[in-house]
Homo-oligomer: A and B are copies of this chain.
Amino acid sequence: MSETDPLVVFTPSGKRGRFAPGTPVLTAARKLGVDLDSVCGGRGICSKCQITPSYGEFSKHGLTAREGALSDWNAVEARYDEKRGLKAGRRLGCQAQILGDIVIDVPPESQVHRQVVRKAASARVIEMNPATRLYYIEVDAPDMHEPTGDLERIARALAAQWSIPEITCDFNALTRLQPVLRKGEWRITVALYRETETAVPRLIGAWPGLLEGGIYGLAIDLGSTTVAAHLTSLDTGEVVASSGIMNPQIRFGEDLMSRVSYAMMNPGGDVEMTRAVREAMDTLIGEIAAEAGIGADRILEAVLVCNPVMHHLLLGIDPVELGQAPFALATSAHLNLTARDLDLDALPASAQIYILPCIAGHVGADAAAVALSEEPGKSDDLVLVVDVGTNAEILLGDTSRVLACSSPTGPAFEGAQISSGQRAAPGAIEAIRIDPATKEPRFKVIGCDLWSDEEGFAEAVGPGGITGICGSGIIEAVAEMRIAGLIDPSGLIGNAAQTGTPRCVPEGRTNAYLIADASKTGGPRITVTQGDIRAIQLAKSALYAGARLLMDEMGVDKVDRVVLAGAFGAHISPKHAMVLGMIPDAPLEKVTSAGNAAGTGARIALCNLPARAEIERTVRRITKIETAIEPKFQEHFVNANAIPHAVDPFPELNSVVTLPPVSFSTGGESEGGRKRRRKRA
């Protein structure tokens, strides 16, 4: 190129260069390293390389562009526009040739590394850089005089047409190559998967001609209770369908330790549970693909996050070692597997499965995913990340250091072991307020936007009515009862005389608070019992003790901010969590919810290959704290039982909340009974 050649400036990158007149825009973009997509390699059939030329005076770029700076609209573009439609002002980068100085904009949808903006405003943006990409190639027909295999000619085409010097081929994909090549008459689209950024790409799929509609991956959060999956375009990063299913292992045990026990007590029990969860994943994948109307052959990747017990049960490893000290994982490393390895029949056998690394025997790939999503190690202020579920995963850190532990909160936060408890489902009370003066409750149920004291509530709730109280509801209930002076700092519920409300009703030798009563019409009578309070106290003490343990290790007694994660974390009211003493003291505005951070982490790892290497590095640097062997954990646990702390944790809320100095007689429950119940889940 010479100084008199046309100057091209690409936006938004700002990259610029001079090119001989007649150079296609795509060629110029590639030479400059401009992020302009193409699947067909410039043959004018994939339309991925659309660009928007800017004409007119561009003094800020120091050049004057003119109408004739690009070659005229050509037959390929006209045909494409006729068949599919091209947005006004758009050109195909592989067809339009540079004739004069010009500014060319690459719109977001034409960028390979386009950014996916997530809903939560605080969250990081995902840059599309998936492990699997499509390449359209034209393969030489076989020649008896130079007999090479079909795969070898595909490799040659990729080298010549895409400068990919070397590939390997998944065995299952290999067995299906020949008919695809012939159906496509030697023009095919192949999917190449890179295990790492520098790995030799592996051919994992092939389709005749140019594949329309792109390929997809699954971000799967394999929880103890539910399995959730997000079907995501590997092209745009868009989630095209989401679905969840109950983890069928629940029939072998509600919580993880009872599943480990089941494996210990029943020979072959681990195999049974492995089969159950794999079948459930197959069902889920089948449903989600059907919902999105996408053939399963298009789903080429899945990224999985899960806790260590689910991790081992999915892989077909007996989880017995995770049920006893020293809680040894078979492997803590990330895993690159195939659908065939896991017998996942709903996916192509060559679909690639990436499982995030585990942090420790109790802190799994789900916690690693939270670390990937929330990045405590990149935070300038000290952040506590709590993923609340049956077990709570807790991360504490800043740029200097990240600590992690897991705490056995048990299932109370999910509405289990609560007298009127239920899972978060329509009919469940999810939020509650108790008037400090009248002690009367008002509440919201899932599936209805109205509060219970608003007009039309009864009709809106419908015939199903109010069915129970879910995790976030019970947390708010207990906190509101404390705020309203219905329970004392030790957690004891006062009687009607002590509290001044007939809603405090006797129940056995203790009292309960009556929220709603439909028993006259055959419906449920929803109360918060003394047992419920004790269950929540145990759970919140475990959570708090875990957080305190990390703070001790870090040598701090307060944190700058708190992130509540987990599907459940998304619904906890930060104010009530602090009233309850679930989390350490922090300014209320510094307590945020990250939603399903583990699922987000899975989605990041699915859409961005370098993020996998990043979390693998990060996990190696995280300091793991084992709560089971730390004597201070027990100490913190006992100390955290009261509601609230000895020191008022939220002075800035005092205008709103005044914690009454009430104290009730201990009623019928002995301290011994409470201690016995403190057994670890």
Residues of chain B with a CB closer than 8 A to A325's CB: 144
A502, CB-defined interface residue at 8 Å = no
Number of A residues whose C-beta is below 8 Å from B?
45
A142-160 contacts to B, CB under 8 A, are: 142-152
- A149 x B358 contact (CB < 8 A): yes
A335, CB-defined interface residue at 8 Å = yes
Q: How far is the CB of A500 from chain B (nearest CB, A)?
A: 50
Residues of chain B with a CB closer than 8 A to A142's CB: 326-328, 361
Complex Cα gap A332–B156 (Å):
13
A539, CB-defined interface residue at 8 Å = no
Q: How far is the CB of A280 from chain B (nearest CB, A)?
A: 19
- A315 x B175 contact (CB < 8 A): yes
Q: How far is the CB of A195 from chain B (nearest CB, A)?
A: 11
A174, CB-defined interface residue at 8 Å = yes
Q: How far is the CB of A323 from chain B (nearest CB, A)?
A: 12
Segment of A43-51, A370-378, A484-492, A621-629 engaged in the interface with chain B: A621-629
A318, CB-defined interface residue at 8 Å = yes
Complex Cα gap A327–B149 (Å):
9
Q: How far is the CB of A374 from chain B (nearest CB, A)?
A: 21
Which residue from chain B places its CB closest to the CB of A315 in the assembled complex?
B175
A171, CB-defined interface residue at 8 Å = yes
What 1/0 flags go to A342-381 for Cβ under 8 Å of B?
0000000000000000111100000000000000000000
- A147 x B626 contact (CB < 8 A): yes
Complex Cα gap A341–B174 (Å):
12
Q: How far is the CB of A311 from chain B (nearest CB, A)?
A: 10
10 interchain residue pairs of minimum CB distance: A142-B328, A149-B332, A147-B360, A149-B331, A151-B331, A149-B329, A144-B626, A144-B326, A142-B326, A175-B316
Further contacts, 20 of them, CB under 8 A, given A144-B326, A171-B315, A178-B330: A142-B326, A142-B327, A142-B361, A143-B326, A144-B327, A144-B626, A145-B629, A147-B332, A147-B361, A147-B626, A149-B332, A151-B331, A151-B333, A152-B333, A171-B341, A174-B315, A175-B315, A175-B316, A175-B330, A178-B317
5 pairs of residues in contact across A and B, judged by CB atoms under 8 Å: A147-B624, A152-B331, A171-B315, A171-B335, A179-B318
